[in-house]
Chains A and B, each alone.
Chain A
Amino acid sequence: MSLAGVEGLADDPGAQPQRTMLAWNRTILATVLGALLVALTAERQQLPGVAAAAGLAAAGLLLMVLRDLRHWHHTDVSPWTPILHVGLAVVGLAALGVTVAVTGILMEAR
């Protein structure tokens, strides 16, 4: 993307749209890797249901957010929908993480 062609950002040396899209890339990558980590841990604790949920969540998130971001633009479009989707995915992963940790506590107590 050439900055000169971006409306309202001709004098911006900071490459704002690119930086923002790279931040999206990092966030999606981190979320998918987090889901993978949850799936591996759940598999180790013999919780195939949780592992499957984490794996499906990662695949679903990737498709959903990539679809949201097809319409991403530095003006005029609200980023709320993809932010909400990734936020909910992180909350879901946190819930799965609490599940595996509590399972660990119960296995210890036994």
Chain B
Amino acid sequence: MSPAISGRERPATERRPEAVYGVGTEPDVRFSLANERTALAWLRTGLALVGGGVALTTLVTFAESGLLLLDVIAALACASGGSLAVGALVGWRRTERALRLGRPLPAPSALPILVVGVAAIALVLAAYAVVQALP
């Protein structure tokens, strides 16, 4: 490698995963960094769901009884948080590939699922709160 070649033009095979770096050309650094931050933001969103679910479980342990539903919701929130983390990994790979190939970016496929899921959890919790408040 001649010293005139900057780091960005190094052979792509040195970087993993090869399915991403083996194709296309180097995109604008800023786009790659934005893709990295997006993946991290999805990971934190997944973590928020896991944390919310675990916090709900803790709340249930303080109650006397009859909070089975909350534990079920907590388990679902934790499971969906894990799925979002997997989605973050898959999404990073797909976007980076599209950036390198100059193709249109893939749609955020996890977004509709997240919105529907969070709305469903909110509605169930609200209904539960109303039922509990009734005399």
Chain A residues with a Cβ under 8 A of chain B: 7-9, 12, 14, 16-17, 19-20, 23-24, 26-27, 30-31, 33-34, 37-38, 40-41, 44-45, 74-81, 83-84, 86-87, 90-91, 93-95, 97-98, 100-102, 104-105, 108-109
Contact = CB atoms under 8 A, between A and B. Distances in A.
Contacts of B8: 8, 75-76
B40 A24 contact: yes
Nearest to B30: A16
Interface stretch (B64-72, B101-109, B116-124, B127-135): B64-72
A93 B10 contact: no
A51 B43 CA distance: 22
Contact of B79 (A16, A33, A86, A94): A94
B7 A98 contact: no
B58 A40 contact: yes
A17 B82 contact: no
Interface string B56-78: 11101100011110011011011
A19 B37 contact: yes
A74 B33 contact: yes
Contacts of A38: 50, 54
B33 A94 contact: no
Contacts of B33: 16-17, 19-20, 74
B63 to A, nearest CB: 10
A76 B44 contact: no
Contact of B75 (A7, A37, A98, A108): A98
Contacts of A95: 78, 82
B2 interface: no
A90 to B, nearest CB: 4
B82 A94 contact: yes
Interface string B67-95: 11001101101110111011011001100
